[in-house]
Amino acid sequence: MKKAYNFNAGPCVLPQQAIDAAIAALQDFKGTGMPVISVSHRSKEWEETMNECRALWKELLNIPDNYEVVFLGGGASLQFLYVAMNLLENKAGYLETGVWAKKALKEAKGIGNAICIASSADKTYSYIPKGYEIPKDLDYFHITTNNTIYGTEIKYDMDCPVNLVADMSSDIMSRPVDVSKYALIYGGAQKNVGPAGVIFAIIRKDILGKVSRYLPTMLDYRTHIEKESMFNTPPVFPIFVMTETLKWLKGIGGVEAIHKINVEKAQLLYDEIDRNPLFVGTAAKEDRSIMNVCFVMAPGYENLQDEFLAFAKERGMVGIKGHRSVGGFRASLYNACPKEAVQALVACMQDFEKLHK
């Protein structure tokens, strides 16, 4: 079988342990004689899995007791609407650091008074804005902690004078997070914690029920908290794989352990980008993401882009082409991406350099 090194930005590489468990569950889920995709979500066996998944989230992120974790369909893009519907009463502020942050702001503007507090659009979202003030009259302040297209990341938990809401789709579980500093954390599973098809939302319960608008039942977070994410049929298979992925993460030492590994992987690749005269990074060095490493051919070598992509593909590199809106290259180093893959990409870049010295 051909060796492939998966750097896709999502759906992500998953741990083999989770894949093997998924294959087994497709044949027989917990001795039921049925595959997990056919089992009733009201069965005792499935309720055990839901409870286990929720417990793993709370344990791995040390989530305080006044928060609830829900699992829903619709993707993080639907959460842009959920957030505004549930929290925006008077005014909300958004930090615009990329495409997804901009889309989140657009959805909020459709609900009420939502404003951009700071933006890095002036330099193609290549940095995280700094030195801005967060108005104290906001219902909430929304950030996107990691920007997959541009390779920037907010790698700390900021102090915020208002409710802090974070889209952590692409860096959740990659580093320790002080959940108590956030009112709400949400994201798609398909970067670090599972396959596409399910989102997570970590919600501080006291922020809900404050808006005067009518909330459709399905768009009210309280509905899903009360029904333990099973008001309607949940995305069963993605939740099962997410559970197995979190079991793998716990088994290797949890979030603290994977953070050390992630930093090592990212540094290995950034060091090569900075050393190799054929390549140059696109994100401000102080804001470089440890999840999505974005780079381009250096000035004078732009004509080699397609050649390098073909060269890398021959050596098993998958998914390193940059997002269609920016071009260049992007290597996504999510939790389950092994260090071996990064080492192979670095060797590939070094071999390509030798051809063009």
Any catalytic annotation for residue 57?
no
> Selecting from 3.90.1150.10, 3.40.50.1980, 3.40.50.170, 3.30.70.1710, what CATH number does the domain 255-355 have?
3.90.1150.10
Do residues 83 and 165 make contact, with C-beta atoms less than 8 angstroms apart? yes
Q: What is the pLDDT of residue 276?
A: 98
Any catalytic annotation for residue 167?
yes
Which residue positions in the chain have pLDDT lower than 70? 1-2
Q: What is the pLDDT of residue 3?
A: 79
**How many C-beta neighbours within 10 Å does residue 325 have?**
9
Catalytic residue, chosen from 46, 139, 167, 265, is 167
Do residues 206 and 87 make contact, with C-beta atoms less than 8 angstroms apart? no
pLDDT digits (tens, 9 = 90+) for 100-147: 999 999 999 999 999 999 999 999 999 999 999 999 999 999 999 999
Catalytic residue, chosen from 46, 57, 139, 191, is 191
Catalytic residue, chosen from 100, 139, 287, 321, is 100
Alpha-carbon dihedral of residues 102, 108, 109, 110, nearest 10 degrees? 120
pLDDT digits (tens, 9 = 90+) for 296-342: 999 999 999 999 999 999 999 999 999 877 889 999 999 999 999 99
- 250-255: which pairs have CB atoms within 8 A and are 24 or more residues apart? 250/56, 250/59, 250/60, 251/17, 254/60, 255/60, 255/61, 255/173, 255/174, 255/175, 255/176, 255/177
Give the pair of three-digit tokens for residue 302.
């732009």
The domain defined by 16-251 folds into Aspartate Aminotransferase; domain 2 (3.40.640)
- Between CA 16 and CA 245 the distance in angstroms is 9
Q: What is the pTM of this model?
A: 0.97
| Boundaries of every domain in the chain | 16-251, 255-355
